[in-house]
């Protein structure tokens, strides 16, 4: 503990939201150091202007959340953050789970949006053991088919590393990997295909009673740029053109339906609504409440 007169830690890294009879918990895992050079398909001057207008630090930081679904007596994680792959400040998912009294062995299933390192690193420990020994790990079939291949011969270092991580994590958890090849995943949870960022990139629609929430994965990484400019992609989109089309489609849908969304790279707690704003969109954050 610091002996400073001023606090140097921000301990609030867990947020609960009730969706009908389901409770969705945001678990703040980490920040990734970003760069405006990651932004594609938009003039650099436009990205710089939006970054400045956002009053965020420059170079930008990318928020990384994971989500825990409390469905009856089931505890289901949606992605697992960086875990053992983290550097710098480290990953906070395990601490967030401990703070709410959820032990790793209590996780019944993990839903994977896609197999990038910042979403699956938490599936393994630092000594290459399964982090959630009792959990089924459900992965979209298109993701398995793509990432279980060998990296292309002309792959960049970053792209090749992503394949290496996917192979490592899938191998360590091979006995508990299950393919998702249909939209119906489990009671209250439906898969929504959102391809482009990766071939099998998926969101998960949470429904209970009249309440709905879409966990949309990586539709945006720098929301203050990609919402007002939906054409803006990121360097690590596998299919940039398709990712843009998917982003435009899902933004139009959630705005029209007034469907609440949660995003792994939306500012913590990463839950709110999307509304149209000039040529693009704007995020309206969920208002914090002391109870779910």
- What pLDDT score was predicted for residue 85? 87
pLDDT at residue 1, rounded to an integer: 44
Q: Is 70 helix (H, G, I), strand (E, B) or coil?
A: strand
- Domain residues of the chain, as ranges? 14-285
CATH superfamily of 14-285: Ribonuclease Z/Hydroxyacylglutathione hydrolase-like (3.60.15.10)
> Encoding tokens for residue 150?
């060998």
Count CB-CB contacts under 10 A for residue 105.
10
CA nearest to 259, candidates 19, 24, 22: 19
Enter the DSSP assignment of 288. P
Cβ atoms of 268 and 65 closer than 8 Å: yes
Rg of the Cα trace of the chain?
18
CA–CA separation, 182 and 207 (whole Å): 17
**What's the DSSP call for residue 124?**
B
φ and ψ of 17, to 5 deg: -140, 130
Please give the order of strands across the beta sheet that includes 177-180. Answer: 14-19, 22-33, 61-71, 74-78, 109-111, 136-140, 177-180
| φ and ψ of 162, to 5 deg | -60, -40
pLDDT, block means (10 residues), the chain with 292 residues: 54 87 94 91 94 91 95 96 80 91 96 98 95 98 98 95 98 97 96 98 98 98 97 96 98 98 95 94 90 80
């Amino acid at each position: 503990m610091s002996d400073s007169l001023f606090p140097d830690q921000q301990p609030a890294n867990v947020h609960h939201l009730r969706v009908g009879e389901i409770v969705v918990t945001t678990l703040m895992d980490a920040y990734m150091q970003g760069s405006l050079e990651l932004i594609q398909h938009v003039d650099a001057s436009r990205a710089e202007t939006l970054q400045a207008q956002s009053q965020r630090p420059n170079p930008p930081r990318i928020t990384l959340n994971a989500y825990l679904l409390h469905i009856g007596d089931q505890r289901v994680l949606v992605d697992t953050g960086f875990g053992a792959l983290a550097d710098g400040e480290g990953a906070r998912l395990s601490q967030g789970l401990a703070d709410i009294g959820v032990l790793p062995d209590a996780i019944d299933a993990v839903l994977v949006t896609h197999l990038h390192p910042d979403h699956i690193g938490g599936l393994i420990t630092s000594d290459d053991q399964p982090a959630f020994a009792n959990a089924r790990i459900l992965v979209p079939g298109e993701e398995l088919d793509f990432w279980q291949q060998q990296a292309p011969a002309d792959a960049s270092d970053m792209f090749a590393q992503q394949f290496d991580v996917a192979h490592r994590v899938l191998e360590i958890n091979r006995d508990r990997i299950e393919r998702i090849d249909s939209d119906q995943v489990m009671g209250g949870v439906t898969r929504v295909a959102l391809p482009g960022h990766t071939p099998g990139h998926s969101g998960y629609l949470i429904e209970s009673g009249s309440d709905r929430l879409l966990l949309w994965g990586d539709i945006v990484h720098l929301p203050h740029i990609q919402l007002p400019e939906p054409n803006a992609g990121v360097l690590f989109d596998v299919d940039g053109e398709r990712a843009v089309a998917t982003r435009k489609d899902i933004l139009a849908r959630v705005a029209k339906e007034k469907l609440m969304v949660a995003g792994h790279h939306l500012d913590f707690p990463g839950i709110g609504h999307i509304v149209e704003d000039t040529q693009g969109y704007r995020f309206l954050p969920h208002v914090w409440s002391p109870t779910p």
